[in-house]
Amino acid sequence: MKGHRAIRLMLYEYVAGTLDDNRHMLVQRHVDNCPQCAKECAGIRGMLEVLPGQTDPAADLPPAFWEELLNDVTARLPARRRRIAVPAWIAEWWGFFSLPRHQAIAGLATLLALVAIIAGTWLTLRHEPVLEPAVVAPATSSSGQPAVDARLKKYLRTSKALLVELNNMPLREGDPIDLSLERTTSRALLHEARYLKTQPLDGMSAALIADLEKIQTALANTRDQEEVPGVQLIRGGIQDENLLFKIRIAETVFSSIEGRTRHGDR
């Protein structure tokens, strides 16, 4: 047996006679025993007598009215460009803008925050040697050792290539991985790092070399046939320390200082 509230919501249909037989009987039984709903029914009945019933004002309008309306509408319809096939990457890019507004805003905000962080970091590092030349000596031209600068740049370039290669290496569970090349490269890089640490490096470069040394040490100690979990562990270290990002930042800073130095020499 449906409750009083549920029945009450069916009273309009009951009075209008649009309920199916079962529901009609159900409501009928309830109304017979519920003075409140009986009163409600009487009220709705009286209301329907005052309220106009289903109307069809459109039926009273002449065919010319509709013809004219359709002509007016058709005349105002804009021409639609035919759909052209667009490359998949454009469709994907466009899909970003078709996202619900809140998602697009969140995405845009994240992008702006990322740009602000990168720009802020870059500006800070860029001004570091200028603001505090005595405290933080940049590894480039201010050190007055072009040979050290060149070796540091090469060290970073090789380290980046190594990390990128390790990150992109396909891993299949159960298959052993040959890391002999990476191991040799890492050993050479560790040797180079030891040399660089003896040179007057700026704080950023010294910290970066220290971080890279940990990864290179891990790689240098890998077995001939490393297993997937071991590689994943090293990859995790690269990602946790944001090493590729840090290398790129350092390279950008060095390029900027080099460019400024060249500009100042003219």
Partner 1 sequence: MPAADERQLIRQAQEGNHAAYRTLVEQHMKQAYNVAFGFVHDHESARDILQEALINAYEALPGFRGDAQFGTWLHRIVMNLALNHVRALSARGRRETSGSADIPDVQDEPAFLRSDHREHVERALHELPTLQRAVVILRHLEGLSTRQVGDILHCSEGTVKTHLFRGLRKLRKRLAYLQGEIA
Output the smallest distance, CB 30 to partner 1, in A: 15
According to the binding rule CB under 8 A, does residue 10 interact with partner 1? yes
Least separation in angstroms between CB 3 and partner 1: 13
Taking CB under 8 A as the rule, does residue 88 contact partner 1? no
Count of residues that interact with partner 1, criterion CB under 8 A: 42
Q: Is 146 in the site for partner 1 (CB under 8 A)?
A: no
Q: Which is nearer to partner 1, 79 or 147 (CB)?
A: 79
Name which of residues 11 to 70 contact partner 1 (CB under 8 A): 11-13, 39-40, 42-44, 46-61, 65-66, 69-70
User: Rule CB under 8 A: is residue 91 a binding residue for partner 1?
Assistant: no
Shorter beta-carbon distance to partner 1: residue 81 or 263: 81
Minimum separation from the CB atom of position 22 to partner 1 (A)? 17
> Is residue 170 close enough to count as binding partner 1 by CB under 8 A?
no
8 is a site residue for partner 1 (CB under 8 A): yes
Distance CA 6, CA 1 (A): 10
- Binders in 102-121 for partner 1, by CB under 8 A: none
User: Is residue 82 close enough to count as binding partner 1 by CB under 8 A?
Assistant: yes
Q: List residues binding partner 1 (CB under 8 A).
A: 8-13, 39-40, 42-44, 46-61, 65-66, 69-70, 72-74, 76-83
